[in-house]
Amino acid sequence: MSKKAICLLSDGLDSPVATFLLEKTGIEVIGINFNNNPFVGLREKSNHNNSPKDESSERNSKQIKNIAQTLLDTFKKQEKFTLYRMPHGEDLRQIIEQSKDNKITCVLCKRLMLRKAKFVATKLKADIIATGDILGEQASQTIDNLQVIQEVLKDIQLIRPNLGLNKEEVIEIARKIGTYQFSELAAKFTCLAVPNKPATVVSLDRVEKAEQKLEIEDMVKSSWNQVEKFTFRK
């Protein structure tokens, strides 16, 4: 395979489908999953005062491994699939506490994820970064915010395989490839760091001003130093 992509892979519906669609094109896919613990909790109890629970991290780890193996079983080209699991929760805490602009937390979080993915891509000599974004599904996925988020990847190609799909189409593919059952369980949980009223239109200046208060380079390198690597085979 001539091309290699780092795919942001969560236990939600969208990113497994994006990874599946990209592998179908003949591009080698490598997964990167971000562990947001302790900012993961049940939807009906979602608030910033929830007590951190190690079981949230364990549940997510099990789910993402199930998804990775299920994806591999659907792959047409690859006989193995590598997944990197990277800590992200403490960095998310710093974003909340230090940026002082909670309405753009999700945009700052996504930009940091892409920076970490880019670091991994450089290490693994990958050409592409891929995400499961669906246009307008979340506040961070408006046209304006997607543009601001992708500014951190000026020198590497970004692909969003799901961008032209609607939710029903994504669900249909997820059912077909077998990841839906795991993502359905994940849907009971939510990110506790999401603000009540996230900004849907964010300027690059506003984001960069908030990022000046963060030790971004240290965050990226620290996460890489703590990364877990899993290899799945058919």
pLDDT computed for residue 60 by the predictor: 78
pLDDT computed for residue 59 by the predictor: 73
Asked whether the predicted pLDDT for residue 65 surpasses 70, the reply is yes
Domains along the chain with CATH numbers:
4-233 (3.40.50.620)
pLDDT computed for residue 41 by the predictor: 80
pLDDT, tens digit, 9 for 90 and up, residues 40-62 = 887 665 444 444 445 566 777 88
pLDDT, tens digit, 9 for 90 and up, residues 176-227 = 999 999 998 888 888 889 998 999 999 999 999 999 999 999 999 999 999 9
Confidence (pTM) = 0.92
pLDDT computed for residue 121 by the predictor: 98
pLDDT, tens digit, 9 for 90 and up, residues 84-142 = 999 999 999 999 999 999 999 999 999 999 999 999 999 999 999 999 999 877 888 99
Print the SS3 string covering the chain: CCCEEEEECCCCCHHHHHHHHHHHCCCEEEEEEEECCCCEEEHHHCCCCCCCCHHHHHHHHHHHHHHHHHHHHHCCCCCEEEEEEEECHHHHHHHHHHHCCHHHHHHHHHHHHHHHHHHHHHHHCCCEEECCCCCCCCHHHCHHHHHHHHHHHCCCEEECCCCCCCHHHHHHHHHHHCCHHHHHHHCCEEECCCCCCCCCCCCHHHHHHHHCCCCHHHHHHHHHHCCEEEEEEC
pLDDT computed for residue 48 by the predictor: 44
